[in-house]
Structure 1
Amino acid sequence: MQEDGYIDLQLLESQEVPEDVCEVQSSKPCLSYSTGRFRNGAIGLCNIGPTSCLNPLLQTFYMNRDFTDLLLRIGELDDTVPVDRRFCYELLALFHDMQKSKDDAVAPYRFLRCLQSLRVSVYVQNDVADVFSTLLSLILQTIPDPYLTEKVRTLYTISLREQITCQRCSQQRTAHSDLLNIPLRVSHSKFHRKVTLERMFWRYFRSQEIHGDKTGCPKCEANRGVKVTQLRSLPRTLSIHLKRLSQKSMDKVNRTVSFPLVLDLLEVLDPEQLPSEECKTPSYSYHLFAVVAHTGTAASGHFCAYINSHKDRQWYFFNDSSICKVSWDDVKCTFGNSSLHWGVTACLLVYVQCEAE
């Protein structure tokens, strides 16, 4: 999708704030998130052409402290690391450039060359969930420490259990799967009815009839069954993909989808849809951390990000090299509106688990 240029905002480097205890007292490496005009580490990424949704996705990784704390522990790059295993090091180098830069934006040329060497297309139209999964997969493949790999995997992976019951012979079969995001399809509404994220989430996990050759029963070969989906385990960072591309017309669906600041899965799902007792999570409440949004049509447009900084709990708008403070009302503009053909719509929601009481 094509991107246009935007006016830069001057981001001035500031001194570290005294309350940044993490960098001063902790022996573990971590980003200070105290530089820039807003003193939260936020800095722009230069618009270097049709880079699709890469810039806003990189910002969601960079501003997620849980992720950067793990990435910083991979150590320094040396000559013994093969070229095809250097992706996570290049990502970390970009984050260091963003942390230390005195300019209003950083040009990620070196990081882009790394992606191109791995044959990842960044100058063509891409689906935001596909790019998100590609970046995470490359990170998991190139982290040198198996322990850190598992920690990052646990941070983002959603584990599901699907049970399919044959409608003819009642034969049951179970399958397990791991996802990096929950895909929720946004359908057209003839009367432009609004829908909530909670409702869509509930529909995804409810029991539903399925049919087709791929659902054939191994016992009686019937191709009709009932599928029940259950969460096996939940990550600390929960990503939800709002699939707004119509399957029939390949048009963008601008239907209004509202999403909450706090998503409480105990209020959304039934008890049997939640993880079993041995896999229970400390908290089922998630607060909204980032929204990757798209302006335009299915054929062209521009991606941006709204991110809630952990430093001051304020919302910021990341538009390539331009960053500004916004309100929750500004974020709600990404709910979508069927009457606005070129309106801004959320396509990827990133929730972070609330601290357990």
Structure 2
Amino acid sequence: MRHRKVNDLSRITANKRQLCLHRSFCVTEVRVLPCAVDGPGNWLPREKQKVRAGIKPEHEEGGRWRRAQRGSCGERCPAAKSSPWCGRLKQWIRVPIGHAEQKESVPYQMLLLLEQMQHSKQRAVYPQELVRCLTVHNLKLFVQYDAAHLFLSLWNLIKNQITDRELADRLTTLYTIWVQEYLVCQKCSFETRRDSNMVTLPLPMFNARSQRLKTLEDSLHCFFQPEQLTDNNMCLCEQCERKTPSVQGMRLTCLPQTLTLHLKRFCYRKSSWTQKISYSLPFPQSLDFNQILTQEQFHPDAKEKADWQYDLFGVIAHSGLASFGHYCAYIRSLTEGRWYCFNDSSVCQVSWDDVKCTYGNSHFNWGETAYLLVYMRKNPQ
């Protein structure tokens, strides 16, 4: 297959599990361009066009679009079979009525792109329609975006545009992390609590004393470590009615089936320019939060703590410096257990040793370093 050349600009790589971001001019940023997408795929364009690979659209009550049960997902790329949820999303989704509304629907355009990847005989697909859809929602072409920020933007667009509330709630349960924030006055012991949620855990590379953290487990433990607020950082106590020394922290309440960890590898120096933190931070293939966090770091009413065990599913890695670079994704097939590297329009099988190369190296700032880690719960309900 002949590919149109795009001179070292970014590409958006989609796979069945998520939209992974690739080539950019900035380590922390991604240029949104209609370029090649990894994985096998050809466009399954619109409902009126010929349907391939046993896929038959059926218009049913309520404007739903159902995918025929024939034709398994990702036959040409085993890594594309990884998500059991993706099949459910594609079986039932509400099709926008008007053509203009379809062009502006991010869930619908991503659904079409997934179908395009799974059933094409071509080596790579081009997500022009999805990129055009994103420009309608202020994600403009030729503008650089942080990869984690773009992930959150896509998540919010998808969740807000899904009209089926049950499906939206399921997606929220699938990805959302729930924590309880607390603030305890050191004078009167008055405690203020607030429940909050997030889609990614932003994990530090240094502790409160600016010391390097050695492992991902250390970073997780540091994230939930209470912090002393004194001097200029004191907060107003409602009971004392004045600013007092306090302890601030978080307690883990609930973890989702799919856990996304964001390694904060970019920091601002006093010179007001961004620097990449490239030193090694090993991450395991399996995580058990009961072995990582202390009892005080869990909420007393935390549910299913025994099931908070995870296996690594994907790694979004970056090579380059803080001013430019390139993204690629490593995805583990849930059906085979094998690792695959998604690099622009190429997909190849790799080993765990290859994935471990993304730990980082302080002596090689240009090397690949893991930026986003995606873990999936063992034995999900």
- Under a length normalisation based on structure 1, what TM-score does the superposition of the two structures give? 0.81
1:129 aligns with 2:153: no
Say if 1:127 and 1:30 are closer, same or farther in 2 by CA, change over 3 A: farther
1:101 aligns with 2:125: no
Alpha-carbon deviations, 1:81-102, whole Å to 9, x = none?
8468611111101111111111
Which residue, out of 212, 217, 224, partners 2:237? 217
CA distance in 1 between counterparts of 2:304 and 2:39 reads 46
Per-residue deviation at 1:32? 2.4
Alpha-carbon deviations, 1:191-231, whole Å to 9, x = none?
99661000110111122213556843334331531013111
Unaligned runs of 5+ in 2: 1-7, 11-22, 25-34, 43-52, 54-66
1:330 aligns with 2:370: no
Residue in structure 1 matched with residue 56 of structure 2 by the alignment: none
Say if 1:278 and 1:181 are closer, same or farther in 2 by CA, change over 3 A: closer
1:232 aligns with 2:256: no
Unaligned runs of 5+ in 1: 17-26, 43-62
Which residue, out of 308, 317, 330, partners 2:341? 317
Is this contact kept in 2: 1:207–1:227, CA < 8 A? yes
Which residue, out of 33, 57, 61, partners 2:73? 33
Which residue, out of 247, 268, 279, partners 2:268? 247
Which residue, out of 194, 197, 211, partners 1:175? 194
- Under a length normalisation based on structure 2, what TM-score does the superposition of the two structures give? 0.76
Structure 2 counterpart of 1:184, which letter? L
Mapping for residues 252-271 of structure 1, pairs under 5 Å? 252-271=276-295
Say if 1:68 and 1:245 are closer, same or farther in 2 by CA, change over 3 A: farther
CA distance in 2 between counterparts of 1:73 and 1:84 reads 19
CA distance in 2 between counterparts of 1:310 and 1:94 reads 21
Per-residue deviation at 1:274? 2.8
CA distance in 2 between counterparts of 1:10 and 1:70 reads 19
Is this contact kept in 2: 1:2–1:300, CA < 8 A? no
SS of 2:237 mapped into structure 1? coil
Say if 1:159 and 1:303 are closer, same or farther in 2 by CA, change over 3 A: same
SS of 1:331 mapped into structure 2? helix
Which residue, out of 227, 233, 250, partners 1:208? 227
CA distance in 1 between counterparts of 2:101 and 2:334 reads 35
Structure 2 counterpart of 1:269, which letter? L
Per-residue deviation at 1:298? 0.9
| Percent identical | 33
1:185 aligns with 2:204: yes
Structure 2 counterpart of 1:139, which letter? I
Q: What is the Cα-based RMSD across aligned positions, in Å?
A: 3.4
Mapping for residues 50-65 of structure 1, pairs under 5 Å? 63-65=82-84
Q: What number of residue pairs does the alignment pair up?
A: 325
